[in-house]
Structure 1
Amino acid sequence: MRAIFWLGLPLSTVMARTAFYKGSQPKVKESITSPRGWVKHAPAPPSHVLELKIALPQPKFDALEQYLWEASDPGHERYGAYLSKEETYALMSPHRGSVEAVVDWLASYGFEEGHLVRSPANDWITIRAPVSLAEKMLDTTYHVYHHAQKGDTTVRTLSYSLPENLHGHVDFIQPTTMFARFKAFKSTLHWSGQAELVPASLGNGTITGPAGNQVDASCNSTITLTCLRQLYNALNYTTSATNGNKLGLTGYLNQYANLDDLQQFYLTQNPAALGSNFTFVSVHGGTNNQSLLAAGDEADLDTQFGFGLTYPTPGTFYSTAGEPPFTPSALEANDTNEPYSYWLGYVLSQDDIPQTISTSYGDDEQTVPYNYAVRVCNEMAALGARGVSVIFSSGDGGVGDNDADPATQQCFTNDGRNVTRFVPFFPATCPYITAVGSTAYIPEKAIPFSGGGFSNYFPRPPYQELAAQGYIDKLAPGTYQGLYNPYGRGVPDVSTQGLNFSIFWEGKNVHVSGTSCSAPTFAAFISMLNDARISLGLPPLGFLNPFLYSSGYKALNDITEGNNPGCGTEGFNATVGWDPGKSDVTA
């Protein structure tokens, strides 16, 4: 009988070494109930390869967070004094004993140093293992799960264990219990000329904006670069191509930014940019297929409006590989988590990072394991501490998740209790990023699909205490009691236009809508502000929220009309001041 080899060692030898590992008996590290919507299909193929990411604790994160608050507070002496890459890593690194314990445990299963992929801060260790070995290491059984409504397929488990004395050295291991589906926040797609949702009367000529600025009346039916520059007072501002300011946009789920589409867009909306391009960066094997039929409407939208608004500011498009919906088989290379961790690991390792970065992807907060969400959020904080304004769209399900019960339209928890509850979106709920919702029309009002609400994972951050509590105090007693967490981080922070954006996709002019439109729009205007600051010798704005909530809101236009229905309710109403129905918009 031939021995089965893994990593150069017979499996019998690996198991013998495991028996002598100094750890104690396995103890459950993480366990979930059967996730809502997913059905167990069959045992996972033993040879299917998993790329396991092991997260080690970050004992100095409190110090990093404190530095973030100080560097982002306009009233603090450290405002704008951002950390270097090396200083950030020093505050992200685990204790040496944690690294040694994990490496020793992995060695007991035959993983030598050459098999380990370490993050620069040593807070992540990644290995590749077939399901058969992963099941032994984690004392678990993997299965193929199928999403009954959406058709997605993934390889996961509901519980895994580690030696008890290893628990304090490992925050979590994934992919194990993560059932996030991860999607682009794009609400609708219309062919040019198709009847669309517009105000009853468009009028002719111009409309007066909130600051007395004149906006073309056509912007009430179709949003262009000129509309946004008119509405948000940047019509005559020209950015620099050489002062060091940059804008970054992220792409996931095989969303490719087509260059021919970009040039057609420039030809019609910004002829000065015609012939220009962005820098493409591949992360974890990400590509940018230029076949016209492979063009991604999300990636086209982001790059056309993000880079179109900020030209000639240099732009970077990050394409990160990884797509959770897949068909597992022995022929496939690996299974993936949602890919934020890969992108964060890459961008934090760079010496030069764009000062503003926008992302229009996410998922229901409850589908992302709590420990995983916290770690990803902490790494967003590290980006902020390095002076990056991190922008995310707030989601396109109002207060719900677009997966509400078809009969009742109610939303339910994913913890096996099936409790009726609003569903916030992650990473928008992370307190270290700026979440962007959507408005429509001029004068602007909240748009129904705009994601908003309160996190069930993250407590309300200090900068938001007065604004969020002020809104909750205005609600009638008992409003939505039990449907949301009144102590959670509120979303969104700001909003911009998000309806009927005119783009080119697959060579055709189409209109798209969603908070996917709003995030790159807001990021582009923040990039313009960073451009002006850098040209004056000032540091970039960095993490925006402490400034926005303390004094920056005074430069914003308050939206007091509209709401964001979902889960069988009318959602949260827009009102004077901050609210989770839309928040304020740039002015």
Structure 2
Amino acid sequence: MRPSSLFTIVLAAVLVSADRLTFRGCQDKVKESLVSPPRGWVQHAPAPQDQIIRLKIALAQPSFGELEEHLLASSDPAHERYGMHLSKEDAHTLMAPSQDSIDIVSEWLSEHGIGEEYLHRSAAKDWITIHVPVSLAEDMFNTQFHVYKHVESGDTFIRTTQYSLPSVLHDHVDLVQPTTMYARFKPMSNTLHFMGGITQEFEFSAVTGSITGPAGNAINATCNYEITLDCLRELYNVGSYTPSGTSGNKLGITGYLDEYANFEDFQNFMKLENPAAVGSNFSVIAINGGQNNQTLSAAGLEANLDVQFAFGMTHPTPGTFYTTGGAPPYTPDKMEPTNTNEPYLDWLDYIMNQTDIPQTISTSYGDNEQTVPPSYADRVCKGFAALGSRGISILFSSGDGGVGDNDEDPSTTNCTANNGTDATTFLPSFPASCPYVTSVGATVNVPEVAANFSGGGFSNYFARPSYQDSVVKGYLSSIGSEYAGLYNSTGRAYPDVSAQGVNYVIMYRGAPTNVSGTSCSSPAFASLVSMLNDARLQANMSTLGFLNPLLYSRGVAALNDITEGSNPGCGTKGFKATKGWDPVTGLGTPNFGKLKDLVLGNSTQ
């Protein structure tokens, strides 16, 4: 993980609190601190002392390097251990803290009156969750909490700009959050675009009849301005392939922030798009108080889009929708845990303790990377690595702000660093920037070009992984000094791949609706990955797991290179799509027929 411009992560005795002796006679030292709250957040009021807050403590993971080595080996098609995934128990062993860390942190908590009966430990014992009043949290972490308000949305959180730990704990605790985390982790549907209200302009030709797709097959010309299941099958060369439904393969979709996938809309979508699937349904698993409101007026645009296209494409593959606890506004008069807004940790805590997990999982949520503490981003990213080591393919939308924030108008220049300098900078998205997930950008039209909202760029937190070195260096060489200083040329580059992202036809609250965004692209690409896993399972082969080492090596020959378009933002024209990998469409869009031959070992490429 790269050092953050937002935080000072103190690993040695650099900053010492005012002569306060605490646990084992040690002085407190600042663990993490902010220069100031991120842009758009203001201090609203002191946090009520008796308000209960939920905090998560991450213990150090001394064996993660071994897990990462296994992940990369099992994901590299040229490696002798390709496809040899870890069991749940093996992954937990490599994620676990040392017994010394468990013991000393337990002792410290007990000193503050927090015994084992008040703790929740994650499956690998690497996370501890506590519920404490603000007054106790302020004493434990030698800080002051305040209510902070997000000016644009009105969201309110209890947060601080600095917290400390006894020096003896610094090697044992990686982070405590949410303390200095101001990320809102919004759905990418913030910029899903309804027809008639779309902010980006696209030109659609008035061609009738059929047009030729990248695989040389005929595609209905209506796919040039409206995307259906048949369009994706034709465009991405699915042909007559139908999953078995009994291979043991499953597909998962995650939902957060009170986004509900509606059963009635799902059935009406299938009547229009896939009559063979009428009467089928998907499973719903609730996590951390997640709800399953089936009132039609409560149907979520994001949730409906994801389940309709992902499960519609892959029928009869069993589908699971995860609904993870909502994010209500903070209300001081209700003595309940505040909105912690850490959905990935809640979901990871649950999913990592399951034995039967869908082999492909798509998520369409994220936020501006710089609003996420780098320590938090690192640990969440390691959770995705652990899932990949178990043979799970994790896909994320790349974001809808081009090279800027998802909230930004591409015509503005309000893209500033949150390090006190207010310097203009491109704004990468997280978790799309995590090197252990597959990030999916967006295209439009046939022939395909980059959708101009497609999120892409370079992480400021994560270094570029070796599997990207060749193609990314080639791209950087081609653009020379363009945008120098606005992005981190050594960072993890994204997206990895792309898929259609404009004008998907879904059913929403009883009526057809057209929507756009990389929220469309990720479940579309994930549905094809799910079918590839089905094909491998039918052939008694392992699942694909972490996709990127395959995609960046042999897989690139089975993708359609996108060479036109760009992703403007931050007052610039953004990066350009070009031959080979680019930070707009990645390596390109899928050719399922070629990918299937490749993963089954039938490819001559």
Matched, 1:91 2:94: yes
Matched, 1:203 2:207: yes
Secondary structure of residue in 1 paired with 2:170: helix
**Equivalent residue for 2:559?**
556
- Structure 1 position 328, deviation (Å): 4.3
User: For the residues of structure 2 that align with 1:194 and 1:147, how far apart are their CA atoms?
Assistant: 25
Is the CA contact 1:285–1:320 (under 8 Å) kept in the aligned structure 2?
yes
* Selected match of 1:529 from 524, 529, 532: 532
* Selected match of 2:64 from 61, 65, 75: 61
Matched letter for residue 428 of structure 2? P
User: For the residues of structure 2 that align with 1:541 and 1:462, how far apart are their CA atoms?
Assistant: 19
Is the CA contact 2:366–2:430 (under 8 Å) kept in the aligned structure 1?
yes
Matched, 1:359 2:357: no
- After superposition, the C-alpha distances for 1:212-231 in whole angstroms (9 at most, x for unaligned) are 11111011111000000010
- Structure 1 position 192, deviation (Å): 8.9
Matched, 1:487 2:495: no
Secondary structure of residue in 1 paired with 2:512: strand
User: For the residues of structure 1 that align with 2:205 and 2:195, how far apart are their CA atoms?
Assistant: 22
Is the CA contact 1:53–1:127 (under 8 Å) kept in the aligned structure 2?
yes
**Equivalent residue for 2:43?**
40
* Selected match of 1:258 from 240, 262, 271: 262
Matched, 1:318 2:330: no
Is the CA contact 1:174–1:337 (under 8 Å) kept in the aligned structure 2?
no
Question: For residues 460-475 of structure 1, what are the structure 2 equivalents within 5 Å?
Answer: 460-475=464-479
User: For the residues of structure 1 that align with 2:531 and 2:470, how far apart are their CA atoms?
Assistant: 29
Matched, 1:566 2:565: no
User: For the residues of structure 1 that align with 2:341 and 2:111, how far apart are their CA atoms?
Assistant: 25
* Selected match of 1:31 from 23, 30, 33: 33
User: For the residues of structure 1 that align with 2:328 and 2:379, how far apart are their CA atoms?
Assistant: 19
* Selected match of 1:271 from 260, 270, 275: 275
- Structure 1 position 197, deviation (Å): 5.2
- Structure 1 position 364, deviation (Å): 0.5
User: For the residues of structure 1 that align with 2:409 and 2:541, how far apart are their CA atoms?
Assistant: 51
Question: For residues 115-514 of structure 1, what are the structure 2 equivalents within 5 Å?
Answer: 115-186=118-189, 187-190=191-194, 199-323=203-327, 326-404=330-408, 408-475=412-479, 477-514=480-517
Q: Percent of counterpart pairs with the same letter?
A: 58
- Structure 1 position 337, deviation (Å): 3.3
- Structure 1 position 48, deviation (Å): 1.6
Is the CA contact 2:444–2:502 (under 8 Å) kept in the aligned structure 1?
yes
Is the CA contact 2:443–2:451 (under 8 Å) kept in the aligned structure 1?
yes
- After superposition, the C-alpha distances for 1:16-59 in whole angstroms (9 at most, x for unaligned) are xx988414121111100222111101001112211110000101
User: For the residues of structure 1 that align with 2:561 and 2:182, how far apart are their CA atoms?
Assistant: 37
Is the CA contact 1:23–1:164 (under 8 Å) kept in the aligned structure 2?
no
- Structure 1 position 322, deviation (Å): 3.9
User: Given the superposition, is the C-alpha separation of residues 530 and 79 from structure 1 closer, same or farther in structure 2, using an over 3 Å criterion?
Assistant: same
Per the normalisation by structure 2, the TM-score is 0.91
Secondary structure of residue in 2 paired with 1:236: coil
Is the CA contact 2:193–2:199 (under 8 Å) kept in the aligned structure 1?
no
- After superposition, the C-alpha distances for 1:130-179 in whole angstroms (9 at most, x for unaligned) are 11111111111110111122222111000011111111111010110000
Which 5+ residue runs of structure 1 have no aligned equivalent?
Answer: 1-17
- Structure 1 position 190, deviation (Å): 2.1
Is the CA contact 1:144–1:328 (under 8 Å) kept in the aligned structure 2?
no
Secondary structure of residue in 2 paired with 1:94: coil
* Backbone CA RMSD of aligned residues: 1.8
Is the CA contact 1:226–1:235 (under 8 Å) kept in the aligned structure 2?
no
User: For the residues of structure 2 that align with 1:558 and 1:499, how far apart are their CA atoms?
Assistant: 18
Secondary structure of residue in 2 paired with 1:465: helix
Secondary structure of residue in 2 paired with 1:298: helix
User: For the residues of structure 1 that align with 2:22 and 2:442, how far apart are their CA atoms?
Assistant: 58
Is the CA contact 2:402–2:410 (under 8 Å) kept in the aligned structure 1?
no
Structure 1 residues 402-411 or 152-161, which shifts more? 402-411
Matched letter for residue 472 of structure 2? A
Matched letter for residue 333 of structure 1? P
Secondary structure of residue in 2 paired with 1:534: helix
**Equivalent residue for 1:3?**
none
- After superposition, the C-alpha distances for 1:471-508 in whole angstroms (9 at most, x for unaligned) are 00001x32101000000010100000000000011111
Matched letter for residue 31 of structure 1? S
User: For the residues of structure 2 that align with 1:406 and 1:441, how far apart are their CA atoms?
Assistant: 21
- Structure 1 position 210, deviation (Å): 1.0
Per the normalisation by structure 1, the TM-score is 0.94
User: For the residues of structure 2 that align with 1:195 and 1:180, how far apart are their CA atoms?
Assistant: 24
**Equivalent residue for 1:11?**
none
Matched letter for residue 497 of structure 2? V
User: For the residues of structure 1 that align with 2:40 and 2:333, how far apart are their CA atoms?
Assistant: 22
Secondary structure of residue in 1 paired with 2:358: coil
Is the CA contact 2:229–2:313 (under 8 Å) kept in the aligned structure 1?
yes
Matched, 1:543 2:546: yes
User: For the residues of structure 2 that align with 1:264 and 1:63, how far apart are their CA atoms?
Assistant: 48
Matched letter for residue 540 of structure 1? T
Is the CA contact 1:154–1:328 (under 8 Å) kept in the aligned structure 2?
no
User: Given the superposition, is the C-alpha separation of residues 90 and 521 from structure 1 closer, same or farther in structure 2, using an over 3 Å criterion?
Assistant: same
User: For the residues of structure 2 that align with 1:405 and 1:520, how far apart are their CA atoms?
Assistant: 25
User: For the residues of structure 2 that align with 1:55 and 1:20, how far apart are their CA atoms?
Assistant: 20
User: Given the superposition, is the C-alpha separation of residues 431 and 174 from structure 1 closer, same or farther in structure 2, using an over 3 Å criterion?
Assistant: same
User: For the residues of structure 1 that align with 2:519 and 2:383, how far apart are their CA atoms?
Assistant: 22
Matched letter for residue 35 of structure 2? T
User: Given the superposition, is the C-alpha separation of residues 23 and 441 from structure 1 closer, same or farther in structure 2, using an over 3 Å criterion?
Assistant: farther
Is the CA contact 1:247–1:314 (under 8 Å) kept in the aligned structure 2?
yes
Matched letter for residue 460 of structure 1? R
- After superposition, the C-alpha distances for 1:491-541 in whole angstroms (9 at most, x for unaligned) are 100000000000011111111100000000000000011111110111111
**Equivalent residue for 2:581?**
578
User: For the residues of structure 1 that align with 2:197 and 2:272, how far apart are their CA atoms?
Assistant: 16
User: Given the superposition, is the C-alpha separation of residues 520 and 325 from structure 1 closer, same or farther in structure 2, using an over 3 Å criterion?
Assistant: farther
Secondary structure of residue in 2 paired with 1:86: helix
Is the CA contact 2:204–2:225 (under 8 Å) kept in the aligned structure 1?
no
User: For the residues of structure 1 that align with 2:204 and 2:173, how far apart are their CA atoms?
Assistant: 58
Is the CA contact 1:405–1:411 (under 8 Å) kept in the aligned structure 2?
no
User: Given the superposition, is the C-alpha separation of residues 195 and 426 from structure 1 closer, same or farther in structure 2, using an over 3 Å criterion?
Assistant: closer
User: Given the superposition, is the C-alpha separation of residues 304 and 200 from structure 1 closer, same or farther in structure 2, using an over 3 Å criterion?
Assistant: closer
Secondary structure of residue in 2 paired with 1:543: coil
User: For the residues of structure 2 that align with 1:327 and 1:268, how far apart are their CA atoms?
Assistant: 43
Secondary structure of residue in 2 paired with 1:154: strand
User: Given the superposition, is the C-alpha separation of residues 19 and 200 from structure 1 closer, same or farther in structure 2, using an over 3 Å criterion?
Assistant: closer
**Equivalent residue for 1:70?**
73
User: Given the superposition, is the C-alpha separation of residues 166 and 245 from structure 1 closer, same or farther in structure 2, using an over 3 Å criterion?
Assistant: same
